[in-house]
Structure 1
Amino acid sequence: MLDLTELEHVHADIESVHEVVQSLKARVDGVYIGIHLLKNPEGAYFYELSHYYRGADNAGPLSATAMENRYATLQEAARGALQAATMCYRSTDEGGSWQRNDTFMH
């Protein structure tokens, strides 16, 4: 197991280091959504998504403050990621589209 806190001190400009514990891929309406499940130095899990859905009514992803992205287990983080990815998606939404998350590292 890596000591992430120690790795943060390798260079003065490194703000944080997170371990990518698992990568998943979910398919929704023909679009593949990449999911990274990460672990922070405190041992909590969180997720990053490659895409988010923007509805025709401009409904988009919930802000980070509105939805908790910190989990005790990997399974909970995976479930939270899938819920977040599909929160705004409606199959009958004409004019909605999947948007790429530019901060997602492939």
Structure 2
Amino acid sequence: MFDLSELEHIHADIQAVLEIVSSFKARIDGKEIGIRILRNRMDDYFYELSHYYRGADQADPDFSEENRFPTVEAAVKGALRSASMFYRSTDEGGAWVANESYIH
């Protein structure tokens, strides 16, 4: 593993360097969701999802859930909980929305 804090000091405009440590795909009722697990310089793991579910009520999901985990496995479990938390197969009018901040 690299010393990410050292990499952040290469240029003054670099705000953060994150290591992508794992990538996963999950299928939820036929929709493929990308999951990236990243590590920051404090060795915390967190996830990014390629899509999130917006229900028929059009309310944005609440992303207040903590997204910092001590292990990759815990981060993947958190990602799967987050991805499936608002999804309901009987929700007519709901849709999966691409997450614009997902690293491609």
Identity %: 59
Correspondences of 1:12-51 after superposition (within 5 Å): 12-51=12-51
Q: Which runs of 5+ in 1 are unaligned?
A: none
- Name the amino acid aligned to 1:70: R
Q: Given that residues 25 and 35 in structure 1 are in contact (C-alpha distance below 8 angstroms), is that contact kept between their aligned partners in structure 2?
A: yes
1:96 lines up with 2:102 in the alignment: no
Aligned length: 104
Aligned to 2:79: 81
Mapped to 1, the partners of 2:71 and 2:43 lie a distance apart of 9
Deviation at 1:12, TM superposition (A): 1.0
Structure 1 segments of 4 or more deviating over 6 A? Answer: none
Q: Given that residues 52 and 60 in structure 1 are in contact (C-alpha distance below 8 angstroms), is that contact kept between their aligned partners in structure 2?
A: no
Provide the TM-score with structure 1 as the length reference: 0.94
Deviation at 1:104, TM superposition (A): 0.6
Residues 10-30 of structure 1: CA distance to partner in whole angstroms, max 9, x if unpaired?
111110011100000001121
Deviation at 1:105, TM superposition (A): 1.5
* RMSD of aligned Cα (Å): 0.9
